Amino acid sequence: YITFYTSLFRCFLLHGSADPLTAQLRGAVLLPCFVDRPLPLEELEVEWRRTDSDTIVHLLQGGQSRPESQGDAYKDRAHFFSQEIHKGNFSLLLEGVRTADAGVYKCVAYTEQEQNETQVVIQGVVFIICLFLLFKPFLLAKIQQQILGLRQDYVYRGRLSITRLINLTKAYFYHAPTKFTFRRGQICWFKLCLE
């Protein structure tokens, strides 16, 4: 008689966010990634990276965070929740959000037997500026921040040059007319991206 032994490994599933995430510029955003059951940490590796590059956002090996493996753009900005790792929570906190952080992120978990992955999307941030000339050289400037339909307004009033306004918002022009010619009562719209 020949006896066959089979060992069945229950596959683990990684969960993320089905919907795109909203990110506040210069704020923090949580990139969710967790398994349906705890995994043995000694044989576990979890890797966060961008899908559009080889840049490693963060790496976890043997239950330990490896910040030295992070790409320069994410050093001191992306963090695991160390107290949650043993529970199977590999979510990442990304701080100091920049416009360049918009994109698709992949969380991949490896064990000796298998691997699984999930993706998380961070939406971009669009800033719109409205300049209204009250009377020369006074401007009413309204900066409108739009993040997935959420809106926040900033209003500046008084002696304010274009250069000063841009410096105040630490912004640079993403799209704008080549000339700035304002007449009283004229409204001009510009899209801005913040650094």
Alpha-helix residue ranges (DSSP H) falling in the chain:
162-169
pTM: predicted TM-score of the whole model, two decimal places: 0.62
Residues 28-47 have pLDDT tens digits of 899 999 998 888 888 899 99
Of residues 135 and 56, the one with the higher pLDDT is 56
- Residue 32, preceding peptide bond in cis (omega within 30° of 0): no
More reliable by pLDDT, 100 or 172: 100
SS3 85: helix
Give the sheet arrangement for strand 171-175, strand by strand.
150-159, 138-147, 126-135, 187-194, 171-175
Q: How far apart are the first and last CA of the chain?
A: 72
- pLDDT for res 43: 86
- Does residue 158 come out as left (phi exceeding 0), alpha (psi in the -120 to 50 range) or beta? left
**pLDDT at residue number 95:** 93
The model's confidence at residue 10, banded by pLDDT at 50, 70 and 90, is low
Percentage of the chain modeled with pLDDT above 90: 29
Check residue 66 and give its pLDDT. Answer: 94
Please report the pLDDT score of residue 124 as a whole number.
61
Q: Does domain 14-122 have CATH number 2.60.40.10?
A: yes
- How buried is 156 (Cβ within 10 angstroms: 0-12 exposed, 13-18 middle, 19+ buried)? middle
Q: pLDDT tens digits, residue range 116-125?
A: 999 999 876 5
